[in-house]
Structure 1
Amino acid sequence: MDHNVRRTDITDKVYGKMDQGSMSLYLNKDKIGNIRFTNQGNLYEMGEGFEFDGDKIYRQDSGSAPKAQGQQQLVDDCEFGWC
């Protein structure tokens, strides 16, 4: 990970939906990742700009970090989608 990229813990804002043996992860209404359940353990597949580390989910907070697919941010620090 680039040490110039700040991370924000978004674990409490993420929710999951079961989807055919895996769990899709969402932030607001945007899909940010997927958890596949295997015999060897859980496999976390996070979208660009998001990461799973130490049982927490983080969003990368740099000007160059991609946003979740379909997300358009017009105002900085707007996490609730109504800004």
Structure 2
Amino acid sequence: MKHEILAFDKSVEPLVFHVVEAFSKKSETLAFEVKLPAGCDAQLKQIMGWSTPLRGDEGYDLSPSQAAAIEALTGKQFYDDDHIFQLTCNVY
């Protein structure tokens, strides 16, 4: 059987999607997720203070002010004191 070797074109930027994950402070289990809309990369870059391109496997703890800015971006209120919030960056 012949196997084809696939290579990624490094000149093409990967498609990245972002998710806010909320973890229970008591059990540290995932309680819920908030998917961010496509096309918000520029706003997230400013909110998070990113200066380098994303790889697609990052995770960032969110401060209350970052969470508030993401709430404004998504139109969804999710922040509370019972959870730890992280923003994940994932490649399609």
TM-score (norm: length of structure 1): 0.27
Higher RCO (C-alpha under 8 Å, 6+ residues apart): 2
TM-score (norm: length of structure 2): 0.26
More strand by share: 1
